[in-house]
Chains A and B, each alone.
Chain A
Amino acid sequence: MIDWLHPSFLFLLGAVLVALLPARIRMAAAVLVPLAAFFVIVNLPLGNGLQYQLFGFDLTLLRVDKLSKAFGYVFTINAFAAGIFALHLKTRVEPVAALTYIGASIGAVFAGDLISLYLFWEVMAIASTFLILARGTERSYQSAFRYVMIHLLGGLMLLAGILLQIKATGSVAFDPFAIRDLPTYLILIGFLVNAAAPPLSAWLSDAYPEATVTGGVVLTAYTTKTAVYTLIRGFAGWEILMVVGCVMALYGIIYAILENDMRRILAYSIINQVGFMVTGVGIGTAMALNGAVAHAFCHIIYKALLWMSAGAVLQLTGKSKCTDLGGLYKTMPLTLIFGCIGALAISSFPGFSGYTSKPMIIEAGVHGGFYWVWLVLELASAGVFLHAGIKFPYFVFFAKDSGMRPGEAPPHMLVAMAFLSFICIFLGVYPQPLYAILPFEVNFHPYTFEHTLNQLQLLMFSALAFFMFLPMLKRTETISIDSDWFYRKGGQLFFTAADKLFNSINAQAEKLVAVELTAQVSRFFKQPGFLIQRQGVRLLAAVSGNRQQAEQMEAWLDARNRSGAYPIGIWVLLAVSILGIMSLLYLLIR
């Protein structure tokens, strides 16, 4: 078709259109743009396109291969579903920010060089911040501020790495990094910040749950998965990523279990799921990378589905904490069913999409002979069912009767959820279309009897553990300290310390200079002649020891001062002696 049409351009055009169109047809544009972009990506010819020159470097806006296309497909499919889910929106900010954000992330995926990548990367950070700000609460403002600060920090790391890399190699190419030194590690850290790898992961669980209902659905897909894409592109086979990924997988589970807010539970489970993908990148074989791409694809779909069902609950009840929710199955059965499909898919339950993608990563680890990777990922698989597969639907839709009877989600939300549910089941039973778009040839069969049986055992006995230990999992009205403590409490601490230190210096200085010194000076200048003379008399008295005479002199000085009687002779004498001293000084210095 048209090989110069960049899919991001459609999104940016859509953002402008949405800003101009009247409210009634505004959201139609937000649905049609991803659809158009999807067909553009389908028809993009493989190879590089849209090359341009900037700062004397040859840059490439369109690098089309199977890897970038796979992410392009799922990004546009998810944007389409999110557009339907958000059809009720009357505001401008959210759709404009969402389209810009999605467009930038697609731009980052198709960027063929480091500089283009960096430019799109920063647009993503800024645009996504508005999806959090749009909530309009005090909490969301603060959270959005922390969110954008961390992303700017990550962006600076990335920029520093890119500049050093260009200086070292003279090339802006974004290809697998071979040399492990400072520039590439800085780039890696920049990517890992967006992938929400601990310790710089708290931005995700801090900010996403504070976003708007529809903003949360959009946010879950793009930032972390663009980071996964860049890791696959640049850092496949870096063993350190296996460790990072396994830590993420476990970290997400533990925090999700401690959490009370349903959308924060789902936010932590993003970190857990991205952990699987990062581990796959670390293993770095063809099968592992296929697994990482496939899992990113499936994850985007089922995680958006889960956020939609949680979003529908939040939209209708205004509540988000498990302790406030419960018993919603009575009036929201369809939302429950769609939410459960998402929950089963994330748990990689046989028959749902997670089961055709995640085991690929685990099997690649087994092929690589990494026993501990297998152990951690199997353990994490059991944990996923625990925290996202059962905990989320159980506490929101069952557990206890909260007394709320909100009714079913609005039709457009149900349609969006039904669409994503269909993809979850379709790819669960017939994964071949997904396998066909993966970067390498797929030689993987999830549905052997033994493997399916093992997985079902693992999951169902995890469920048994959940219900047996239910009293220990009861939700409490608490939050858990995460690594954002360092900049939230640390920030407060810094402020308090700075306040105490600098303001106390300031107060002391004010007391000394402004209050006491000026008072002294003004007292002195009321009667300067008298005060000097009296001081002189006192000095003489201290030397001679004749206190009586001194007191007489002082009384006389005081009387003369009161009456203002200073004979002219004294002034003349003073003037002449000062002149004398000055001429003497002049002669001496000369």
Chain B
Amino acid sequence: MSKKSKPAAASVPTTPREFNWLDDPKNIRLVRNVFYAVLVLLVLPDFFMHKHTLFYSVEAWPGFYAVFGFISCVGIILVSKLLGYALKRSENYYD
């Protein structure tokens, strides 16, 4: 009985403050553009500096680690997607 009345009484003064900054599509676009700018800025120095290699000369190519990271992740996503067809089951599979 007391459980019912409590939230109603308490919720009025303690409504949590809300941050809605990302609700605006304009702000999402801003975040995305900043992200792209950062990507470009990260690869740019590779063209002007001498890079060391660990095993093969390909590692010194400009943007090697960027390409490596991107391809790795795409590979991981595709492999897990494929494995998902074999491994995924409904939540009450074991019940």
| Assembly CA distance A462 to B65 (angstroms) | 10
CB of A181, distance to nearest CB on chain B (Å): 35
Give residues 30-67 of B contacting A (CB, 8 Å): 35, 38-39, 42-43, 45-46, 49, 51-52, 54-55, 63-67
| Assembly CA distance A254 to B87 (angstroms) | 11
Q: Could you tell me if A371 and B55 are in contact, using CB atoms closer than 8 angstroms? A: yes
Q: Is residue A17 contacting chain B, with contact meaning CB distance below 8 A?
A: no
Which residue of chain A has the shortest Cβ distance to B79 in the bound complex? A254
Give residues 55-86 of B contacting A (CB, 8 Å): 55, 63-70, 72-81, 83-84, 86
| Assembly CA distance A455 to B39 (angstroms) | 12
| Assembly CA distance A405 to B16 (angstroms) | 7
Q: Could you tell me if B88 and A257 are in contact, using CB atoms closer than 8 angstroms? A: no
| Assembly CA distance A408 to B76 (angstroms) | 34
Q: Is residue B5 contacting chain A, with contact meaning CB distance below 8 A?
A: no
Using Cβ atoms and an 8 Å threshold, which residues of chain B touch A454? 64-65
Q: Is residue B2 contacting chain A, with contact meaning CB distance below 8 A?
A: no
Identify which of A254, A405, A461 contacts B83 (C-beta below 8 A).
A254
Using Cβ atoms and an 8 Å threshold, which residues of chain A touch B89? 478-481
CB of B94, distance to nearest CB on chain A (Å): 5
CB of B14, distance to nearest CB on chain A (Å): 7
Identify which of B39, B42, B76, B81 contacts A383 (C-beta below 8 A).
B76
Q: Could you tell me if B91 and A478 are in contact, using CB atoms closer than 8 angstroms? A: yes
Identify which of A257, A407, A479 contacts B14 (C-beta below 8 A).
A407
Q: Could you tell me if A405 and B88 are in contact, using CB atoms closer than 8 angstroms? A: no
Which residue of chain B has the shortest Cβ distance to A469 in the bound complex? B77
Q: Quick one: which of A331, A465, A476, A489 has the most chain B CB within 10 A?
A: A465
Q: Could you tell me if A258 and B80 are in contact, using CB atoms closer than 8 angstroms? A: yes
Q: Could you tell me if B16 and A407 are in contact, using CB atoms closer than 8 angstroms? A: yes
Q: Could you tell me if A461 and B70 are in contact, using CB atoms closer than 8 angstroms? A: yes
Interface segment, one of A221-229, A374-382, A566-574 = A374-382
Q: Is residue B9 contacting chain A, with contact meaning CB distance below 8 A?
A: no
- We find that the number of chain B residues with CB closer than 8 angstroms to chain A is 48
Q: Is residue B6 contacting chain A, with contact meaning CB distance below 8 A?
A: no
Q: Quick one: which of A253, A254, A455, A473 has the most chain B CB within 10 A?
A: A254
Q: Could you tell me if B81 and A461 are in contact, using CB atoms closer than 8 angstroms? A: no
Which residue of chain B has the shortest Cβ distance to A387 in the bound complex? B76
Identify which of B17, B22, B63, B73 contacts A331 (C-beta below 8 A).
B17
Q: Is residue B24 contacting chain A, with contact meaning CB distance below 8 A?
A: no
Give residues 433-486 of A contacting B (CB, 8 Å): 450, 453-466, 469, 472-473, 476-482
Q: Could you tell me if B70 and A465 are in contact, using CB atoms closer than 8 angstroms? A: yes
Q: Quick one: which of A329, A450, A458 has the most chain B CB within 10 A?
A: A458
Using Cβ atoms and an 8 Å threshold, which residues of chain B touch A258? 80, 83-84, 87-88
Q: Is residue A330 contacting chain B, with contact meaning CB distance below 8 A?
A: yes
Using Cβ atoms and an 8 Å threshold, which residues of chain B touch A465? 69-70, 73-74, 77
Q: Is residue A9 contacting chain B, with contact meaning CB distance below 8 A?
A: no
Using Cβ atoms and an 8 Å threshold, which residues of chain B touch A406? 16
| Assembly CA distance A254 to B72 (angstroms) | 12
Q: Could you tell me if A481 and B42 are in contact, using CB atoms closer than 8 angstroms? A: no
| Assembly CA distance A254 to B84 (angstroms) | 9
| Assembly CA distance A198 to B65 (angstroms) | 29
Q: Is residue A386 contacting chain B, with contact meaning CB distance below 8 A?
A: yes
Using Cβ atoms and an 8 Å threshold, which residues of chain B touch A450? 49, 51-52
**Given A457-B69, A465-B73, A488-B94: A374 and B22 interface contact (C-beta under 8 Å):** no
Query: Which residues of A does B touch, CB under 8 Å?
Result: 253-254, 257-258, 329-331, 333, 366, 371, 374, 378-379, 382-383, 385-386, 398, 405-408, 450, 453-466, 469, 472-473, 476-482, 488-489
Q: Could you list 25 examples of A-B contacts with CB < 8 Å?
A: A257-B76, A258-B83, A329-B22, A331-B16, A366-B55, A374-B55, A382-B76, A386-B76, A407-B16, A408-B16, A450-B49, A450-B51, A453-B46, A455-B65, A457-B63, A457-B66, A458-B68, A461-B69, A462-B69, A464-B70, A465-B69, A477-B90, A479-B90, A480-B87, A481-B87
The 3 closest A-B pairs by CB, nearest first: A465-B73, A407-B16, A458-B69
Query: Which residues of B does A touch, CB under 8 Å?
Result: 14-20, 22, 35, 38-39, 42-43, 45-46, 49, 51-52, 54-55, 63-70, 72-81, 83-84, 86-91, 93-94
